[in-house]
Structure 1
Amino acid sequence: MKFAAFSGVLIDHSIQEALQLTKKLGFDGLEIAAREPHLSASTSAQRIKEIRSVADGLGLEIPVLAGYMGSFSTASDKECEQAFTDFQRILEASLTLGSTMIRVVAGGPNAFLAQDYHYAKSAYWLKKCAVEAKKHERKIVLEIHNISLAETVESSLRLVHQVGEDNVGLIHDAGNMYITDTDYGRDSVIGLGDRMFHVHVKDEKRVDATGTPGTFVNLTKHGQEKFLQCRLGEGEADHQPLFDALKETGYAGWVTLECHAPFPAYERLEHDLAKVKQMMGLA
C-alpha cells in the first residue's frame, strides 16, 4: 500500500512546490488535481515534461490524474464532446507522467433522484473514455461522491457495469460516503471487490450551522444538510473499519489523503498521514 497527497489540498502552491512539500511530508506520491495552476487540458507538453522531471528527481510517483471533466449525465451533447476532448488531453498527459489512473466525473443528480437515462448517457461517454484509455493501458476511476450517480456501492456498480469495460473502477471515499449516509466500512470494501481501484481519505461531520470556514451545505436523502470538513479523527467518518478491511483484503493500491479542513495545508496533510499510519498500525 502506498500513500499519496492530493494536490488540490496544495492548490495555493505551484505544482513544483506541491511536489516538494509532498516529499517533505513523507508521501510516496502526489495525485494531481487536473486543474490550474497544477495541470489542465491546456497544459503544454513541455510543462508536463517538467512536472515529470521534478517528480522523478524527488523520487515521487504520480499515480492518478484527478480530472474534473465529465458530468456527462446532465451535460449537453456539445458539452460532452468538449469533456471528451479534455479527457483525451489528460490521457496524453498521463503517458508522460506515468499515471495509470485518470479520474472522470460520473455526473449527477443524486443516485436516489437519478433516472435510467442519466445512467445510460453517462455510461455511453464513459465507455468512449474507457476504450481510449485501454489503448494505453490506463484505467478510468469514478469517485464515489455525494450528489452523483456513483453515490453508493450499489449505484456505483450499476454505472460501472453499464459501461461494460474492465478498466473502469471506483475510488472508495469514506468521507463522501458519510455525507451520503451509506455504508463505508468493511461491507463497502467487500461489496466493491475488484472494482475498487483506489482509495481517498478525508473526514467530515454534520453540524447545525454554516458560515464558519470549512462548512458547506449538501443535498442528501435527508434533505439539505450542513457539514464541516475535519482532520482525520476529528470528524464523524470512522475510518478504522475501512483500514481494517484494506488490511484484511490485502489491498496493495494507493491511498490518497485529501483533507480540506480549515487548517494550513501542510499541517492538515501532516496530521492525516500520521493518523492514518497510527490507525493502520504503521506508526
Structure 2
Amino acid sequence: MRFSVFTASTPSWSPAVAVEKLAAQGWDGIEWRVLDQQPSATGEPGFWAGNLATLPLSTVEDDAPGIGSMVRDAGLSISGVAGYAKAFEHDDVDRVLRGAAAMGATQVRVAMPRSDSGEPYPVALERTRGDLERAIGVAAPLGVKVLVELHHETITPSASAARRLLEGLDPVHVGVIHDLGNLVIEGFERHTSAFEILGDHLAHVHVKNARWVTDGSRTAAGSLVWHHEWATLRDGQADVGQYLTDLRAHGYDGWVTLEDFSTDLPLEERTRDNLAFVKALVGVDV
C-alpha cells in the first residue's frame, strides 16, 4: 500500500507547503482538491471554504504542469485528483480531466448527483450512466481513469449502488473509491462483501473516520435526534485497523488516501501522527 493525503484536509497549507511538509514526513503521495471555492466566512482557511491547498478549477489546466513538476521534484506521486464537478457538468468535468493529465495524475474523481435532488433514482442512474460513458470517452485517450466515490447523500452511497451504476463498464477506464468514513454515515456493507461486489472496479481508497452523536434532543414524534461528526482515525466508529487488514486480505495494494477532518491535533502533528498510525497497522516502519 502507498499512503497519501487529500488536500481538503490540509486547509492552512499552500500547495507548495503541503508538498514540502508531506514529503518531509515520509508520505508517498498527495491527492489534490480541485474546485473554484468560496471564501471562508471567518477569513480563516477551512476544509470546505478558503482552503489554501485547493487548486482552482478555472486555472487547473494552466497550473497543472508546474504542480506536477513540484510534486515529482519533492519525491512524491499524485495519488489522484478529487474534482467536485458533477458528472452532468460536462465542461467542468473535461477541464479537471485535462488538468489531471497535464500534471501526471492517472485517476480523477467525478462527483455523483445528490440523492435528494428530487429526480427519481432510476432516472438519475440512467442519466449518470450516460454522463460517465461520455467522461470515459474524454478521459481514456488522456490516460486517466474516472473514479466514482462511495459518498453519503449521493446516488452511490454503497458498493452495491456503485456496482449497479458501473455494471458492464470497463474497469480499466472507470473505478470506485471505497471511503471508510463516508460509510459510517450511509451505505455501510461488510467490507469484504463490498470489495467482492466491486470486483475489479475497486480502484482507490479513502480513509477518514466519523461517529454519530446526540445532544439528547428529540423530534416532535419523540425520536432521539442524532447527527454525524468527523473524528480522529482512532476515535471514530470505524475500525481502521480491521479495514486495512480486510483490504490486504482482499489483495488490495494500491493507494490509501487519508483525509482527516478532525481538529483535535494541529495540522502538522495530525498528518505526522496519522502516517505513523496507519503504517504501524500494516506493519511498516515509519
Cross-structure match for 1:60: 76
Cross-structure match for 2:5: 5
> Of 273, 277, 280, which aligns to 2:275?
273
Cross-structure match for 2:35: 35
| Kept in 1: contact 2:156–2:162 (CA 8 A) | yes
* Structure 1: segments with no counterpart, 5+ residues: 73-79, 211-221
> Of 81, 98, 103, which aligns to 2:109?
103
- Length-normalised TM-score, structure 1: 0.85
| Kept in 2: contact 1:209–1:226 (CA 8 A) | no
| Kept in 1: contact 2:214–2:225 (CA 8 A) | no
Matches within 5 A, 1:44-193: 45-70=61-86, 72=87, 80=88, 83-109=89-115, 115-161=121-167, 164-166=169-171, 167-180=173-186, 182-193=188-199
1:109-161 Cα offsets, whole Å, 9 max, x none, are: 069x9521010111111111111111122111111011011111111111112
- Matched position secondary structure for 2:142: coil
Q: Distance in 1 between matches of 2:60 and 2:4?
A: 24
1:199-229 Cα offsets, whole Å, 9 max, x none, are: 000011111139xxxxxxxxxxx99741221
- Matched position secondary structure for 1:266: helix
Cross-structure match for 1:250: 251
Cross-structure match for 2:40: none
1:33-74 Cα offsets, whole Å, 9 max, x none, are: 11255323311655322212211210111121100001x5xx
Q: Does 1:201 align with 2:207?
A: yes
Q: CA deviation at 1:259?
A: 0.5
Task: Give the percent of matched residue pairs that are identical in Structure 1 and Structure 2.
Answer: 28
Q: Distance in 1 between matches of 2:164 and 2:58?
A: 33
Per the alignment, do residues 51 and 15 of structure 1 end up closer, same or farther by CA in structure 2, a change over 3 Å counting? same
Q: CA deviation at 1:239?
A: 2.2
Q: CA deviation at 1:269?
A: 1.9
Per the alignment, do residues 193 and 234 of structure 1 end up closer, same or farther by CA in structure 2, a change over 3 Å counting? same
Q: Which runs of 4+ in 1 moved over 4 A?
A: none
Q: Distance in 2 between matches of 1:228 and 1:273?
A: 22
Q: Distance in 2 between matches of 1:268 and 1:161?
A: 38
Q: Distance in 1 between matches of 2:224 and 2:127?
A: 26
Q: Distance in 2 between matches of 1:122 and 1:5?
A: 28
Q: Distance in 2 between matches of 1:64 and 1:269?
A: 18
1:68-89 Cα offsets, whole Å, 9 max, x none, are: 001x5xxxxxxx3xx2111111
| Kept in 1: contact 2:192–2:250 (CA 8 A) | no
Q: Aligned-residue CA RMSD in angstroms?
A: 2.3
| Kept in 2: contact 1:4–1:256 (CA 8 A) | yes
* Structure 2: segments with no counterpart, 5+ residues: 37-51, 217-222
Q: Distance in 1 between matches of 2:206 and 2:60?
A: 28
- Length-normalised TM-score, structure 2: 0.84
